Structure 1
Amino acid sequence: MHARTPEQASFAAAIDAFCRDKTGTRAQRDALTHNGTEAHNPALYVQMAELGWLGVGLPLKYGGSGGGMMDICLFAERIAYGLAPVGGYVTTAVAAGPYLKFGTEAQREKVLGGITRGRVEAISISEPGAGSDAAAITCRAVRTQGGFVINGQKTWCSNAHLADHLLLVARTNTSGSRHEGLTMFCVPSNTPGVEIRGIPTMAGKDVNDVFFTDCFVPESSIVGAVDQAWPQLMAGLNSERLILAATMLGRGRRAFDDAVAYVKERKQFGKPVGSFQAIKHRIADLAMELDCCELLVYRVAAMADEAPERMLPREASMAKLKTSETAKRVALEGMQMMGGYGYATEYDMESHLRATVISTVYGGTSEIQRDIIGKTFGL
């Protein structure tokens, strides 16, 4: 846990205490998640809202506390470590950025104000034919009297089934390059013509297909400028990658601590398995890698706070890549060190593995992060 100020240290301690009280046991977490099939508990989330935590990175005028990326990352890390089932936070925190930077005052009051009260938001970008290649978007928004009519399909939309609004990226112009002619819209999830269907995954209810059929949205739904969604997206991807990195730092640390606790207690050949050199060296390597991740994540967060308008493609991609790959490694190593018990649902390690493996795919795959980093060196 990285805290630069006494206030941040107190904030982190308060989150840890909350999680110990509310989600500290497997029985508590099972009760909150329908035995692990739900990633988000609305009632618990509202409790966090009432404590003022969900607006940690939002301005005071919208009910937030005026914090920065350091505070957002700290919150994301600690709730992930505490295994708090509030999976809606990450997409909500990521969606807040475009509204804050490009939204109208009415959109900010509605969406950002709702976030501080415990409402969930989602982003709808990916399509069946547009994943890593986001510029291949084909979902169309055609101008009509008073607004736009949207038709098309989105997929892998995290938390759409929980969200008040979808921050939709659709194609409004086909005359320019693939990166031109895209526009952001704020679409209430209950708008006629919007259909949300869950995609079954090993993580339970998490991601969705979203179908738009003659879905009308008024002109006031535009977020930012028409045909300018691509540069708007680029301005926010660094924050997304950093929030995801902080989340995986917390989950990786929890997997590590769970593994250490197990190898201290589990005995074979008359002594704790953690006393064998093979295990000790594994633990040493993982501890070192996690500390490297922590330093990287909070270094980039500090850079973002020092210059909020600065683009940090190399640094943010490094943080996301290093932390998600390390968290996955920690969970895999933890499962190996725990043997069959690491595979059993009696313990949390199998859950850590499911959560960390997918982190190297969403928010930009590890391969895409490496490509971005390479491009920053002129390659």
Structure 2
Amino acid sequence: MPLLARFVTAPLVVDVRRGALRELAEVLADQRISTSGRVAIAVGPTYGPIVQSTFEHGLVEADWFTVDGGTINTAIKLVEQIRQHRYDAIVGIGGGTVLDVTKFAAARLGLPMVAVATNLAHDGIGSPISTLDNDAGRGSYGVPAPIAVIVDLDLIAQAPPRSVRSGIGEIVSNLSALADWEAAHSQHGEEIDGLAVSLARTSAQAVLHHPGSILEETFLATLAEGLVLSGISMVVAGTSRPSSGACHEISHAIDLLHPSRRAFHGEQVGLGAAFAWFLRGDLAAFHTTVDCLHRHGLPVRPADLGFGLEEFGEIVAYAPQTRPGRITVLEESALTPARIAATVAAFNDHVYARIATGDGGITPEGRILEDR
């Protein structure tokens, strides 16, 4: 008998609106996550005291812990602090670093985790992945996705604009990651999940084509909802494939080769996506991606991230090593050192022409320069 439906793990609550944080206690009680309010709340050092003052007369049974840094050691330290007491759940309130540390700690302790985002820097808000620095550089760890996701748009509006813009680069890069996944499926038979593809693509297109800016509440809501859906697409797929392809390999290479020069994750993957579209010769996607990134003030050339063309070429060459076994346009293009240098130079010139004149200057065929 055929299976007529499937069960998809999804958050009990997704609440994206102004003032959502003030109702955290009600969400915990109403959803039976914690009727007593006996929860561990992890916050960052910057907004932690401000957030804690919001609950001065509520959640009196909660204990507060400060997360300082996004390392595996920080996460293990949080685990040791929390395991000394009994809690119904762990709540992470903060940016990507706080949420990643909290997700990892919750997984180690077997407790449900509630994510409360204070910025929109990346799609870790609702994803089953925790990205933490370790002795080898930076690693991604599989964890249960949050049981509830809250995004208070009042807090988001107070976040550094650069961190919010980073989320745009993160979500827009989904389309490039999907192109890699679909190519691996058609050319190598890699399994693909249509529901995960739909979630990742729809969320990316909603942001890509939204006419607003980070100063507008409607745009912030669309971005927040898109990042949540992107995280859920990874839950559905059981892999980061819907949102991680050549774009993320380039970002991981930057993290590993130049850890002291890392930019925001979304800034790096956005630029990586633009380069991947150029490498594929997809004119429409290349133009649309560059236009979106540039319009929102995100990096579009290696120099915007502080890298020369030769340095960026080295990053591109190293990128496939960051995800062994993952097939993307970088692996499929069989890039030689000469072709990398030529392609990076051509990419830089075409992006400059696009942002200067609105015309990328690529030939109608969209072919990348061959070895010289």
Pairwise TM-score range, normalised by the shorter structure: under 0.3
Q: TM-score, normalised by structure 2?
A: 0.25
Q: TM-score, normalised by structure 1?
A: 0.25
1 or 2, which has the higher strand percentage? Answer: 1
